[in-house]
């Protein structure tokens, strides 16, 4: 027996009661599911045992400190994701109550919607149950785990049991030859949820699993991407578990999982390699989490079926690195020497640095790695700085600068390679309030706000708009701030591939904070409303981002060299926003910049939501084409896989105050839940495809309108910029 006591963080206590080795040897592994290490440490977990088998390590953990629910009455369990669970409580009558947990089964809250039976299943956007007559019912998921009203789903078959897991609902019907297994998919959320034809006949009482399918075949080749496993699990009558990684391919091939002494009453799949089960241990019901981790790290097989093979799998990185270091001298080596590729159209990911010492890997640091250019030295690779990874000024761009002095005077210059140096040399104690890049031969948008008024906006090619606005303002001591924005800065390559076919297009970017008068767009409408990037009238407020319809499991690529910001790779509970779908949403915030000089650099943060699996960590530098993660359907998705992409401009925005105009020069950005403060980027959303209506100003740059004068541009915001290189932008419309 081994006991690991409370560590420095004071949060985790693990008790190892026993370890069973079926084949292989004991090794430490990482959790390859959606739950992060920090999230796992927020729970108390008792490790019941580890069992090695067929290249996998299966861990059985008891969830302890369960509050808010009487486990003695729990008869059913289903997982929507590795954190969100629903349980069925059976009372006298019998009547059924439903409970919800958003911390992997530790804290529970009772729901107002009642249950219909012990049978319960969850997909990405709805809960399913059976009534006493074995009719299938579904209810939408809402904020804070709340369940909407039940509605009967038309089905061609009445099954005896249902279960769910990660996008699918499984049904089991008792027949003369055994038990038929049916599956219904979240892809059919807008149609009748029907079982279709059976996909297997087995002896198990219950089936749960992962994957999307209709009648046993994929609509899209999700199973061929790295992110999707299409794995099913079955609960046998004796409480043990069987698994089939090919069931959705039509192969009824099951193998038994060695569960040791653990026996389960019900089972649910939360992810391809994470299960939850209820068992009765010595007359006491408890919830177990069952984890399946990669352990064979050199066989070229995705043993744990989480979509990552060998060195791609976090559980294998240390093992593979140790093998590499065992034959190397001490020093630093790029990961491409021992890890396989996860790059788009590139030979290797090169996305971490390993330090070898004494024949083992003593540290592995994620980040873009560079080999030592001296080929005779093989142990002195390094992680270059973000500055060195930032692309130089794009072709046909110049630099501008705007400086304020303490006496209220100002300067504006766009000549030479260092206009800020020229201005700052004129007087002491000058402060840069704006500096960046403009196009020398294409569109620029310029606006000046001064203490005695404003001028603009002016939009034309080259230096003409800069000169025009400069000439128009008074040259007195009036502290003018010049907003200059190039119409395009070709920074981004493609973010994703394999879009769905027409007519499903990206949902448009429409700024929804404040309505703007539509007459300015030449459509004759004098009221206020919402417009897209072309000035077309929209029916109501939308979000300042694009929703790109992509199948789950599609890889998400970094469009440029960048860095994951603090708290930028995370799973966030979005139930407070009242949207349908599972409450836990995978998110990424990655900062991308262009410009060889930090003084004139233009910076943007791309926000990716509904990320199924995140392959990067906070502070990690990333390289253009690197896979950041995979498209999912968790969080506020409406139940279908898609990628939500928002872009925040951090350089030269209007988000500033008169007392601190430099705030809008190079803004900070916090990845938090607050979208109102100027320091969190709430008002600097831009359209990354640029403003395409040349008859009027970009409403994202100035979101308030002076109704007294019918113009004024008094709001705060940021100019939209077309950030994509030619032919690399996503399709809209």
Closest CA to 164 of 308, 268, 318: 268
Q: Is residue 21 part of a domain?
A: no
Q: Is residue 209 part of a domain?
A: yes
The pTM (predicted TM-score) of the whole model is 0.85
pLDDT, position 675: 38
Residue owning tokens 């580890």 = 50
Task: Provide the β-strand partners of residue 377.
Answer: none
Residues 496 and 590 in one domain: yes
User: Could you give the percent of the chain with pLDDT greater than 90?
Assistant: 40
Count of domains forming the chain: 4
Model pLDDT for residues 500-514, shown as the tens digit of each residue: 554 456 677 776 655
Supply the CATH number for residue 523's domain: 2.70.70.10
Residues 322 and 460 in one domain: no
Residues 357 and 422 in one domain: no
Task: Among 433, 463, 487, identify where a domain stops.
Answer: 487
Which of the listed ranges 37-41, 49-53, 266-270 does the model predict with the highest average pLDDT? 266-270
Model pLDDT for residues 243-285, shown as the tens digit of each residue: 988 887 778 899 999 999 999 999 999 887 899 999 998 899 9
* Strand stretches in 690-729, DSSP E: 722-724
Q: What's the mean pLDDT when you consider all of the chain?
A: 79
Residues 601 and 464 in one domain: no
How large is the average pLDDT for residues 600-607? 96
Residues 501 and 449 in one domain: no
Residues 75 and 163 in one domain: yes
Q: Is residue 30 part of a domain?
A: no
C-alpha span between 625 and 495 (Å, rounded): 8
pLDDT, position 306: 61
pLDDT, position 229: 62
Supply the CATH number for residue 155's domain: 2.120.10
Task: Among 324, 359, 384, identify where a domain stops.
Answer: 384
Residues 171 and 101 in one domain: yes
Q: Is residue 258 part of a domain?
A: yes
Task: Among 487, 503, 538, identify where a domain stops.
Answer: 487
Model confidence at 637: pLDDT above 90: no
Residues 600 and 680 in one domain: yes
Model confidence at 357: pLDDT above 80: yes
Model pLDDT for residues 648-664, shown as the tens digit of each residue: 999 998 777 777 888 88
C-alpha span between 683 and 692 (Å, rounded): 20
Residues 605 and 678 in one domain: yes
Tokens of 506: 């990206």
pLDDT, position 347: 45
Q: Is residue 36 part of a domain?
A: no
How large is the average pLDDT for residues 501-528? 65
Tokens of 298: 């050199």
Least reliable range by pLDDT among 84-98, 168-182, 293-307, 548-562: 293-307
Q: Which long-range contacts (CB under 8 A, 24 or more apart) does 89-92 make?
A: 89/115, 90/118
Residues 238 and 365 in one domain: no
C-alpha span between 288 and 304 (Å, rounded): 19
pLDDT, position 512: 60
Whole domain around residue 337: which residue ranges?
A: 310-384
Q: Is residue 75 part of a domain?
A: yes
Residues 529 and 461 in one domain: no
Model confidence at 214: pLDDT above 50: no
Model confidence at 685: pLDDT above 60: yes
C-alpha span between 416 and 398 (Å, rounded): 8
pLDDT, position 554: 78
Q: Is residue 14 part of a domain?
A: no
pLDDT, position 234: 95
Residues 502 and 614 in one domain: yes
Q: Is residue 268 part of a domain?
A: yes
Dihedral of alpha carbons 663, 664, 667, 673, sign:
positive
């Amino acid at each position: 027996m081994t006991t690991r006591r409370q560590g420095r963080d004071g949060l985790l206590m693990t008790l190892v009661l026993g370890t069973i080795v079926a084949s292989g040897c004991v090794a430490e592994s990482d959790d390859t599911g959606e739950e992060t290490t920090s999230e796992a440490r927020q729970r108390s977990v008792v490790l019941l045992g580890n069992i090695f088998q067929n290249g996998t390590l299966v861990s059985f953990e008891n969830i302890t400190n369960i509050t808010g629910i009487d486990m003695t009455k729990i008869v059913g369990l289903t997982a929507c994701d590795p954190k969100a669970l629903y349980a069925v409580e059976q009372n006298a009558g019998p009547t059924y109550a439903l409970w919800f947990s958003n911390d992997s089964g530790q804290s529970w809250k009772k729901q107002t919607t009642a249950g219909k039976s012990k049978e319960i299943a969850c997909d990405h956007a709805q809960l399913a149950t059976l009534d006493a007559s074995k009719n299938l019912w579904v209810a939408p998921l809402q904020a804070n785990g709340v369940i909407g009203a039940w509605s009967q789903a038309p089905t061609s078959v009445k099954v005896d049991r249902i279960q769910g897991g990660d996008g699918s609902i499984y049904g089991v019907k008792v027949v003369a030859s055994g038990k038929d297994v049916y599956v219904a998919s979240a892809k059919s959320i807008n149609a009748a949820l029907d079982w279709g034809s059976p996909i297997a006949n087995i002896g198990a009482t219950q089936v749960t699993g992962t994957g999307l399918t209709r009648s046993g075949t994929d609509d899209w080749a999700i199973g061929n991407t790295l992110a999707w496993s299409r794995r099913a699990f079955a609960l046998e009558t004796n409480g043990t578990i069987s698994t089939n990684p090919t069931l959705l391919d039509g192969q009824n091939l099951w193998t038994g999982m060695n569960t040791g002494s653990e026996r389960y009453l019900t089972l649910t799949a939360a992810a391809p390699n994470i299960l939850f089960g209820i068992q009765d241990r010595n007359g006491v019901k408890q919830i177990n989490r069952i984890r399946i981790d990669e352990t064979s790290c050199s066989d070229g097989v995705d043993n744990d079926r989480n979509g990552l093979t060998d060195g791609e799998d976090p559980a294998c990185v240390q093992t593979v690195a140790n093998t590499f270091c065992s034959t190397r001298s001490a020093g630093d080596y790029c990961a491409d020497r021992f890890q396989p590729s996860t790059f788009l159209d590139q030979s290797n990911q090169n996305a971490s640095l390993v330090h070898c010492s004494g024949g083992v890997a003593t540290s592995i640091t994620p980040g873009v790695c560079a080999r030592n250019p001296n080929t005779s030295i093989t142990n002195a690779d390094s992680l270059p700085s973000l500055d060195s990874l930032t692309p130089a000024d794009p072709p046909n761009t110049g630099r501008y600068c705007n400086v304020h002095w303490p006496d209220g005077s100002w300067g504006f210059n766009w000549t030479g390679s260092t206009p800020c140096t020229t201005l700052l040399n004129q007087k002491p104690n000058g402060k840069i309030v704006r500096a960046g890049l403009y196009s020398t031969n294409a569109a620029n948008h310029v606006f000046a706000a001064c203490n005695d008024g404003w001028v603009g906006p002016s939009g034309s090619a080259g230096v003409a708009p800069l000169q025009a606005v400069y000439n128009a303002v008074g040259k007195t001591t009036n502290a003018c701030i010049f907003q200059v924005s190039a119409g395009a800065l070709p920074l981004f390559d493609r973010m994703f591939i394999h879009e769905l076919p027409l007519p499903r297009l990206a949902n448009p970017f429409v700024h929804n904070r404040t309505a703007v008068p539509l007459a300015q767009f030449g459509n004759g409408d004098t009221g206020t409303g919402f417009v897209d990037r072309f000035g077309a009238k929209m029916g109501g407020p939308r979000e300042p981002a694009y929703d790109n319809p992509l199948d789950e499991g599609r890889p998400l690529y970094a469009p440029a060299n960048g860095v994951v910001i603090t708290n930028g790779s995370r799973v966030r509970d979005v139930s407070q926003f009242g949207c349908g779908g599972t409450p836990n949403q995978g998110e990424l915030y990655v900062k991308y910049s262009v410009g060889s000089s930090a003084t004139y650099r233009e910076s943007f943060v791309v926000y990716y939501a509904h990320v199924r699996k995140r392959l990067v960590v906070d502070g990690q530098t990333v390289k253009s084409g690197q896979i950041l993660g995979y498209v999912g359907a968790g969080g506020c998705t409406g139940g279908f896989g898609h990628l939500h992409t928002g872009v925040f401009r951090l350089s030269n925005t209007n988000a500033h105050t008169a007392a601190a105009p430099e705030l809008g020069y190079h803004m900070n950005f916090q990845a938090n839940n607050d979208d109102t403060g100027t320091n969190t980027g709430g008002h600097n959303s831009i359209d990354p495809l640029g403003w395409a209506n040349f008859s009027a100003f970009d409403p994202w740059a100035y979101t308030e309108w002076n109704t007294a004068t019918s113009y004024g541009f008094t709001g705060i915001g940021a100019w939209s910029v077309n950030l994509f290189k030619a032919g690399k932008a996503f399709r809209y419309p």
